[in-house]
Chain A
Amino acid sequence: MKKPKSRKQVKFSKSIVFSLVFLVLGFILAYSYSLSQAQESSSNFTANSQFEQEEQFREELIEQKERNKTLREEILAKQEQLQDYESSFSDGEEIFGEIASEAEELRRYIGLMPVEGEGLRVVLEDGEYGSQTVNPNDYIVHESHVFQVIHEMYISGAEAVAVNGQRIHANSTIVCTGPVIEVDGVQYPAPFTIEAIGKPEVLIASMELSGGVLDQLVNDNIVVTMDEGLVIQMPALLSES
């Protein structure tokens, strides 16, 4: 107070000191305030968060349960649907199987498939050349004989017939061309092997009817050999021999 200059200096240093003091004071106040605030909020937070979490979990649980329920219902519905499908499939399969077997059967009948089964084999051979006979037509096998045998086979329930290994079908042609016969354009000499798949006993019985085919053939001096109970294999019609 005595000197203006020194007084100014003193005032300046005083204000510096005061500012320092106030800085510390403000810092401490603010820091403790923020600390207590943080503590309070954290304690609040833990309590709240626990509660909220519980609530949240419960809601989630309920949601999941509901979802499970709907999913279960969906599963039941789907299973029912699946059962329907399966039953329809099995029905369809049965039908398909029937159709397929029928188709196969029909294919066998029309000769599109190779077949195998029990049957009868009839071999027609030219008769012995007798001196008392003049006309060779009397002892050679004609296509009519072959026809007779084939017709007899079909009549007595043969499922497939082949001549010398060639399948006979509905439009087959058998033509006599001199000493040989032509089956669907393929020439075969004697002896003629006629194979038929069917019930052998029925086939042979029908052949052996008195006054039947066998008697007629024998009458025409033809040597007939019959093998029954053989397993006969026939190629498909389409396979060219």
Chain B
Amino acid sequence: MWLSILGLILGVSLGLLTDIRIPPEYANYLSIAVLAALDTLFGGIRAHLQQVYDDKVFVSGFFFNILLAAGLAFLGVHLGVDLYLAAIFAFGVRLFQNIAVIRRIILSKWTEKKGLRESV
């Protein structure tokens, strides 16, 4: 747990301190990668809450989704098709769904707890 927080801090500081500037047209890919990463993260949390969590699925999904999203956007730019919109759409929808599921699960757990306490 602490190691992962350390990794997060390290990653943030590394990202803030990097002086490498990529051209602005590649910033789109990065934003899609961010979206993919967030989606995978929330997907993982949901899976954990639903007790269907798997390490391999999560980790491979995390990296693969990032690469796929960036690659798709890249391909779209080069083909003249706005494929990154598809990626944004897919990941956005999934993100909202995942968050909604998480919310529901937490809510139901909370109400369960409350009911238990009241009954006691």
Contacts and interface: CB of A to CB of B under 8 A. Distances in A.
Contacts of B7: 18-23, 26
B34 A29 contact: yes
Interface residues of A, number: 25
Interface in A6-62: 14-36, 38-39
A33 B15 contact: yes
A213 B100 CA distance: 152
B10 A32 contact: no
Assign chain B's interface to a size class. 20 to 34
B13 A19 contact: no
B65 to A, nearest CB: 12
A220 B55 CA distance: 161
Contacts of A25: 8, 11, 37, 41, 62
B4 A15 contact: yes
A31 B30 contact: yes
Contacts of A29: 11-12, 15, 34, 37
A36 to B, nearest CB: 7
Given A19-B4, A22-B7, A32 B30 contact: yes
B79 interface: no
A60 B39 CA distance: 54
Given A21-B59, A35-B27, A28 B8 contact: no
A17 B6 contact: no
Interface of A: 14-36, 38-39
18 contacts: A15-B3, A17-B55, A19-B6, A20-B7, A22-B11, A23-B8, A24-B37, A26-B9, A27-B12, A27-B15, A28-B11, A28-B15, A31-B16, A33-B16, A35-B22, A35-B27, A36-B27, A38-B21
Interface of B: 1, 3-16, 18, 21-22, 24, 27, 30-31, 33-34, 37, 41, 55, 58-59, 62-63, 66
Q: Which 6 A-B pairs have the closest CB atoms?
A: A30-B15, A26-B11, A19-B7, A31-B15, A27-B11, A23-B7
